Structure 1
Amino acid sequence: MVFNYSVIGLAVGAALMTMPVLAQAPNDANIERINVTGRVFNDYKVGTASGAMRGDIDLMDTPQSVNVIPDFVTDEQLATNLAEVLVNDSSVTAGTTRWNRQVFSIRGFELDSGNGYLINGHQQWSHYVQPIETLQQVEVLKGPSSMLYGQSGPGGLVNMVTKKPTYDSMLDLGFDTDGYGSTRVQLDAGGSLNDAQSIRYRSVLVKQDTQYWREYAANGDNQERDRWLGYLNLEFDLSDDLQLALKYDHTEDKTGIDAGSWLDKQGNVIGDRQTIWDAPWAFTDNTVSNLGAELTWHMSDDWKVKVGYNDQQFNRQRLDSAPQYTEDPFTNGYSIKPFDRYDDWQHKTAYVDFTGEFGFAGMEHQFLIGANYLDYYYLQRRDGGKKAITVIPGQAVDMPDYDYHNVVAGPATTYQYYGFYLQDLMTINEQWKLLAGVRYDEQKKEGEGENSYALSPKFGVIYSPTDNGSVYVNYSKSFTPQGAVNNAADMNDGLDLKPEYGIQYEVGTKWELFNDSLLLTAAVFDITLENITVSEKLPTAIGDFTDITTQGGEQKHRGFEMGAQGQIADSWFVTSSMMYLDAEYHTGDEREGNTPIDAPKWSANIWTRYEVTDNLAMNFGAIYVGERYADTANTITKDGYVRFDIGAAYTTQLMGKDVSIRANVKNLFDTDYIEGGQYNMVTLGQERNFSLALETKF
């Protein structure tokens, strides 16, 4: 779980080292334990990203900026949620965590809950805190990726890759706690269910009770969270060429609501940093399950077909106090508008990929043709929320008698979209590779102007002057459907809006140094988001019309990134990145020339591991995020900050089992900082906190 080498790495490393022995002595009981000093693999560096090209193609052969964050690194950091994972990529900036969900931006563009997140290449409805204990790695795909995944934003995608079954038996038990009394217990088990090892499994169980550092203004109680997670992945070798994988996970996550702090016009936090304006009885209760299947047929050594399906059911009750922003809540109090709400989201996704390698016209081709499909369903019930209640800080407010069960549900929102894609990575010679791809998408949704069509191309060129280095350029495009104008007071009411299109030009380079143990990357990018909707008030009302909505606005984001990941000395490992970003609206309205919220000019991070001995390792980390705006008008700013973290881990043997102890200190110097969010819902950085974890491997 938290200290030692990743399970996948251990399984591979152990298998490689023991192959000669196994050939002579298949009985594990006869194998002598061998103590190996030093590393035989690199935990910080990952060579492939399955989401970048819809296949396990080497990152050096991927003409796109991609960062892969392995679970070994985030286990070292004692990460408990996706936000704590993504701090390892400076192109990702955090937004609000309102309503027990996490919002992120990549290269300054906010990720949408419906199309910004993937799990094993499937789009997921991510309106909740994603569990990370089931993940093998997190891939940050930067820039438009609509050619492979359909509707999505121009900044990029986050693809979460889950843990796979293991051939050999393994069992990890872990426990961690922190200075507030939070606890998390984890079990991670895997192995084969038969002697032939043709049926394998991986299972994860998590129980977490979190005590947060912020307190409710009404009674001084801390926010709490209760979560449990179950995960099972089964693999069946139906034949030498045919494999079936079945996956199921279930999450139950209930927490009090902390919609964030408020900032005044000068950017100062209103009241104490610990103050939660929501009522103590407010909560969100999420129940999320995913049932998936994947069938892989190796037709030959060079050709493969993969078919996947996932059914996501997401139910949420949200009893919200909905505090209303005010700059002076202490004089006359502030108002709340409570409501009880039920949400039912259903995501059904499917894909089929046909991949192969062949030679044609003097070139080697890595070919992909496929299709994917999404069926979306959403239903809401809501009771209350009309009457405002005045609250004085320190004054308790009774929980309202609302019940969404008494409300007749309105019509459900549904849509389906499907896309067909074609991609070819052509090797012209040892120095040159060419990537070309195109996708056709169609979205069908009930209602006028709700059908959308899009064509998404992608091109890339890779030049490799040496075996360990490459330079690439790419062009890619994204699209996001916009529907129709729905405002009776708008002159263009009913107008079919065109999709927003994101267009990126990127030039980058990648180098593997120190015998391929360290990966260095750099990229310069230029992204333009077109067809931004602009809604304005008319200078003078025309009949019953007071507003007008048009399209044609743009958002331009330019910048560069650098990154390093891997081993830089025998006992020293590092993962680090930085980004410069220049982001502006060009919309012709009040946003003209302004910078989007949570788009810093500079950001950087580093996390290192130094192995003092074979049993003792030290860690150091730092995160820098520059000044950001907290409102679209750019009148309220959030100061830049630097946060330092440290940690140490010690591994020993206890009754023949590997036992690890880890201690981490996050925000070592107790820096006051704001992570992200708009001025009326900002997420404050946690004060200094100490974490302790134990892990036993069987």
Structure 2
Amino acid sequence: MTRKLTPLASAIVAILAVPQLAAEEIESTSKATLFDDVVVSATRATTLKTGEVPAAMAVVNAEQIADQQVNGIERLVRYEPGVEATGNGRFGGSGFNIRGIERNRVKIMVDGVNQANDYDDGVGFMNSGRNFIDMETLKQVEIAKTPSSVLYGSDSVGGTVAYTTVDPADFLEEGDGFGGKVKVAYLSEDNSFAETFALANRSGQWESLLQYTRRDGNELETNGDVGGDGETRTKADPANTSSDSFLGKVIYNGDIHRVGLTAEYFEDRGDGKLLSQQGETSLGKYEDYSYDDTSKRTRVSIEHDWNKSTAAFDRVSWKLSYQTTESDAESHDIYTSNPSMFNPDPVAQEREKHRDYSEDNWQFNFDMVKQFQTGSFGHTLSYGGDAKFTKMEQLNSNFYEHDGNSQSSYFPEVESTVYGLFIQDQIKFGQLTVTPALRFDSTDIDPKDDPNYSDDMSDVKGPSNEDVTFRLGAVYQINDNWNTFFQFAQGFHSPELNQLYFSGGMPGFYTSSPNPDLEAEESDSYEFGMRYSGDVGSAELVLFYNSYDNFIEAETSYENPLYPYGETQYQNVGEVTIQGIEFKAQWWLDDVVEGLTLDFAIAYADGENDTEDKPLDSVAPLNGSVALSYTDSDEIWGGSLAMVASSKKDESDVSEDNLYTTAGYAVVDLTAYYNISDSLVMRAGVYNAFDKKYTQWNDVDGIETGKVYMDRYTEPGRNVGVSVSYSF
């Protein structure tokens, strides 16, 4: 009898089937490896190469963003197994899923500034995501796959995505006083055009930058071909999209002082027809359903680096930032509710619904670094802290033809104050580097009395949390080519404000109630890995085990006949564990064809809700990527043939028998670039070249099986992209 391999066994077999790397010490060539990218987020205050970090990291640089024609977070992580983008449809990509942990459990930062929370009203009228940045403003994205709470506090219980925006120096050669870039791009997947203009200047010790990007497009296509209205529709709903992105910087580079001022503004707009939501539903009949949404993010930061050797530090850095994020979702329809005890004889009426959400915050960070020696031990001591003040507001405004106007809030105006202090020491002794780190956080939440909120909050005191987290990392350099690493990291995630106070619903149909007694989520993460870097390429094998306590989930009860569609409340549901294995490698095939490179990556994770003894649905099935790339000897032209693949989601690997599961797939992309001159570059790509119809698991997680419209969640079919950029 032939025994069927489990997904984990299949992953291990695939890894072992890879050509064995030479184990003997050999002199490394000058070619860049997987581990030469320099990152800051792993230590916060100092720079390390990824090969020196005691944890798995993924890095996407500006060249990859350009070559892969990245226009959003979906393309950003397309070739990174174990990391997926979340969100689709009307509100687009909203955040990241790292090894099965997603939404606000993954911290997202832009230049070290925390991004606003992902807010979802739960009924489809509002989803204020965290995708408020244009990819053209970025020079690097660092993804930490393990908890980073010891450095960054709450919200990084599942990992961290750190965006770094471009600087004036990225457009200027040494000695240049003036430079910039003009770029035009087109993608057929959403019929979008993008235009970017950047202008940089250097005068003495001063540098400045102004960059603007404009995007215009339509809906992201699906691979479904059924039009019409309602539940039979599989084509994407028609939409118009546009965005404006401004980035400005002024930097003073002195001998010991560096002072920078950054201003950012991003606005995203979308309007369209929600044809798939029209027709008869369980709540009523929807006609002429449309929307008009706007999201904005504004950020101003001032920062100062002082390089001065004192007894307390060699360098001190601080940053003060103000950021405001606003989302306004407007829905328009003609609606006839189903008869109920509250409305036995309903009539059709025009409705307009506004869902407004805003988050304002002030953030202050400071970091100090001191290097010193104690005997045979070298130390890089870093310490610092954060202070963050946040105000969140939410308002529902309804304008009904017959029922009149009304205003309400799902949660009251809430203010939170967070303080954190951390200390970390990189201790090097011979070939071993050990990095212990410790952090203390204090969180105070203060709800305000809000006339639009259902409960009286005038005498309510919000919860206060104090958390201590610890991390211990170690890297042992076996020889010039091999190292091994280990990390234990604790994480925590304070209850989100809408989880504490969310209250609302529709009489006779459904309701949600607050839970101010929620406790913070906590996690323990273990990670072990081996790395190789030599003259045949580089590789990394990682094993991980993560456990989470007090996991917060929305629980729904259907016992109350007054609410046949459920009573929902956020609760601490108990314990969750996620474990898995990841492998990535890069081989230089110059002996076959000079300039040829093979990249391979695969990730497998298994997640369990231990309290209920059920699989954790947010964990993606076994997935991987392989790419064969070529660069000619003069670096004038090159290209890549890449495949992204995923196994199917087994019915035994979802929490309920009635949930939809996805089939396995393999999708092929072909990209190329040509340097027409030193300044002019043309790039082109064909994505999903064989027009494969496929669905990503995270887009359908939680949807019941038996629906006839599932093709509306499919990814775009064969599509193309082209861009031309000119640097001066």
**Cα separation, partners in 2 of 1:425 and 1:135, compared to 1, 3 Å:** same
Matched, 1:351 2:365: yes
- State the match for 2:623 in structure 1: 603
- Note closer, same or farther for the CA distance 1:256–1:557 as it changes in structure 2 (3 Å cut): same
Q: Which position in structure 1 is the counterpart of 2:213?
A: 206
Alignment RMSD (CA, Å): 3.9
Q: Residues 283-302 of structure 1 correspond to what in structure 2 (within 5 A)?
A: 283-300=292-309
Query: Structure 2: how far apart are the matches of 1:549 and 1:510?
Result: 41
What fraction of aligned residue pairs are identical, expressed as a percent?
Answer: 17
Pairing partner for 1:473 from 449, 472, 486: 486
What is the match of residue 7 of structure 1? none
The 5 Å alignment of 1:122-521 reads 122-125=113-116, 127-129=129-131, 130-166=133-169, 167=172, 168=176, 169-179=178-188, 181-192=191-202, 194=203, 196=204, 198-214=205-221, 217=228, 222-237=238-253, 239-256=254-271, 281-300=290-309, 303-320=314-331, 339-384=353-398, 411-429=412-430, 431-446=431-446, 447-448=460-461, 450-482=463-495, 496-514=517-535, 518-521=537-540
Distance 1:563 1:651, change over 3 A: same
Q: Which residue in the other structure is 1:523 paired with?
A: 542
> Residue 29 of structure 1 aligns with which residue?
none
The 3 A distance-change label for structure 1 pair 225 and 157 is: same
Instruction: Please give the alpha-carbon distance, in whole angstroms, between the structure 1 residues aligned to 2:276 and 2:627.
Output: 29
Does the 8 A contact of 2:368 with 2:383 survive in 1?
A: yes
- Following superposition, the deviation at residue 256 of structure 1 comes to 2.6
Q: For 2:295, give the aligned amino acid.
A: N
5 Å-filtered alignment, 1:55-74, equals 55-74=46-65
Structure 1 CA distance for aligned equivalents of residues 598 and 145 of structure 2: 21
Distance 1:532 1:561 in 2: 24
Label 1:64 to 1:604 Cα distance change in 2 as closer, same or farther (>3 A): same
CA contact (8 A) 2:274 2:291 kept: no
Alignment partner of 1:133: what SS?
helix
Q: CA deviation at 1:181?
A: 4.0
* Counterpart for residue 633 of structure 1: 656
TM-score by length of 2: 0.75
Identify which range, 148-157 or 164-173, moves more after superposition.
164-173
Aligned-pair distance for 1:162? 1.2
Mean CA deviation greater in 147-156 or 441-450: 441-450
* CA distance, structure 1, for counterparts of residue 153 and residue 644 of structure 2: 33
Which of residues 669, 679, 688 is equivalent to 1:667?
A: 688
**Could you tell me which amino acid in structure 2 is paired with residue 209 of structure 1?**
D
1:31 aligned residue? none
The verdict on how the C-alpha distance between 1:560 and 1:260 changes in structure 2, with shifts beyond 3 A counting, is farther
Show CA shifts across 1:214-265 (max 9, x none). 498569973221111111122102x310110111111121013688979xxx
- 1:188 is matched by which residue type in structure 2? A
1:109 is aligned to 101
SS at match of 2:38: coil
Distance (Å, rounded) in 2 between the aligned partners of 1:594 and 1:679: 12
8 Å contact 1:470–1:511 — kept in the other structure? yes
Counterpart CA distance in 2 for 1:336 and 1:556 is 48
One-letter amino acid of the counterpart of residue 134, structure 2: P
Q: 1:565 to 1:68 in 2, by over 3 A?
A: farther
Q: CA deviation at 1:356?
A: 1.6
Shift of 1:519: 3.9
User: In the alignment, does 2:726 pair up with 1:696?
Assistant: yes
Q: Is the 8 A contact 2:411 2:501 kept in 1?
A: no
Tell me the number of residue pairs that the alignment of Structure 1 and Structure 2 aligns. 606
Q: Where does the alignment leave 5 or more consecutive residues of structure 2 unmatched?
A: 1-28, 118-128, 336-347, 447-459, 505-510, 562-566, 704-709
| Contact 2:515 2:571 survives alignment (8 Å) | no
Indicate conservation of the 8 Å contact 2:386/2:421, yes or no. yes
Contact 1:584 1:593 in 2 (8 A): yes
Three-state SS of the structure 1 residue aligned to 2:150 is helix
User: Which segment drifts farther, 282-291 or 87-96?
Assistant: 87-96
Deviates more, 1:242-251 or 1:611-620: 611-620
Answer whether contact 2:289 2:334 (CA < 8 A) is retained.
no
Q: Is the 8 A contact 1:312 1:346 kept in 2?
A: yes
1:111-133 per-residue CA deviation (whole Å, 9 max, x = no partner) reads 318x6201122211162433111
Choose 554-563 or 680-689, whichever is displaced more.
Answer: 680-689
Residues 118, 124 of structure 1: 8 Å contact kept: yes
Q: Output the CA distance in 1 between the equivalents of 2:432 and 2:334.
A: 58
The verdict on how the C-alpha distance between 1:208 and 1:231 changes in structure 2, with shifts beyond 3 A counting, is: same
Instruction: Measure the CA separation in 1 of the matches of 2:164 and 2:611.
Output: 37
1:606 deviation in Å? Answer: 3.2
Distance 1:485 1:380 in 2: 14
Query: Which amino acid in structure 2 is aligned with residue 467 of structure 1?
Result: D
Tell me: CA distance 1:229–1:574, structure 2 relative to 1, closer, same or farther (3 Å).
farther
> SS of 1:581's equivalent?
strand
TM-score, with length taken from structure 1: 0.78
Instruction: In structure 1, list runs of 5 or more residues that go unmatched.
Output: 1-38, 263-269, 271-276, 325-333, 388-399
Show CA shifts across 1:466-514 (max 9, x none). 1232101110011011378769999x99673321101111101222222
Q: Secondary structure at the match of 1:148?
A: helix
**Contact 1:260-1:684 at 8 Å conserved across structures:** no
Q: Structure 2 vs 1, CA of residues 356 and 595 (structure 1 numbering), >3 Å: closer, same or farther?
A: same
Q: What secondary structure sits across from 2:615 in the alignment?
A: coil
